[in-house]
Homo-oligomer: A and B are copies of this chain.
Amino acid sequence: MDFAEVKKSSRQIFAGKIIKVRVDTVELPNGREAARECVEHPGAVAVIARDDQDRVCMVRQYRYPVGEMLWEIPAGKLSPGEDPLECARRELLEETGITAATWEKLYCYYTTPGFTDEVMHLYLATGLIRGDNQPDEDEFLDVEMFPYPEACAMMRRGEIKDGKTLIALLHLGQRE
């Protein structure tokens, strides 16, 4: 069945540095109208970097919208026109100092498609070479390598509160 909603009109609410917000009026499949609040986002990348000792890299940083320090896999927003893999290499190097020989795309998914178009490109990086990280001047984070079983224990204890990090850790734990 075709359940598509057809745009009747669109009103821009906000154009920020990162997000844009608009409210569209749409026609539903039953002919009625409804409002749709949409947050436009440039998209993002995330990387689970696993070394030869089955350790994974996570960074801990303050996330202002939720008011908490979170352990997450390295990630960052796409610049306009940027290739997701290049962005992933750059973010991993900047945040952690790691370069990786092998990159595998795991998933490309919508973080929360009910209200935003944000796409997440998730990669697995292996064959790691560690160096010094180069965080942005206004970026503050701890970097740590966790044995994979320890990361899983954190997940079971509810200490991993970030969606992309759950996907990445669970992916590595799949039955073969």
Q: A3-B69, A174-B170 are in contact. Are A138 and B32 (CB under 8 A)?
A: yes
Q: Does A112 contact B (CB under 8 A)?
A: yes
A41, closest chain B residue (CB): B115
CB–CB B21/A108 < 8 A:
no
- Distance between Cα atoms of A59 and B74 in the complex (Å): 31
**Interface of chain A residues 117 through 134 with chain B (CB within 8 A):** 117-118, 120
Among listed A23-31, A80-88, A91-99, interface-contacting one: A23-31
Contacts of A110 in B (CB 8 A): 63, 66, 70, 161-163
Contact of A65 among B44, B113, B140 (CB under 8 A): B113
Q: A163-B163, A166-B167, A170-B170 are in contact. Are A142 and B1 (CB under 8 A)?
A: yes
Contacts of A16 in B (CB 8 A): 23, 35, 37
Chain A interface residue count: which class?
Answer: 35 or more
Contacts of A115 in B (CB 8 A): 18-19, 39, 41, 65
CB–CB A109/B65 < 8 A:
no
Contacts of A155 in B (CB 8 A): 107
CB–CB B158/A108 < 8 A:
yes
A77, closest chain B residue (CB): B114
Q: Does A145 contact B (CB under 8 A)?
A: no
Nearest CB of B to A23, in Å:
7
Contacts of A3 in B (CB 8 A): 61-62, 69, 140-141
The 10 A-B residue pairs whose C-beta atoms are closest, nearest first, are A170-B170, A111-B112, A63-B113, A3-B140, A3-B62, A16-B37, A38-B65, A36-B64, A66-B113, A13-B14
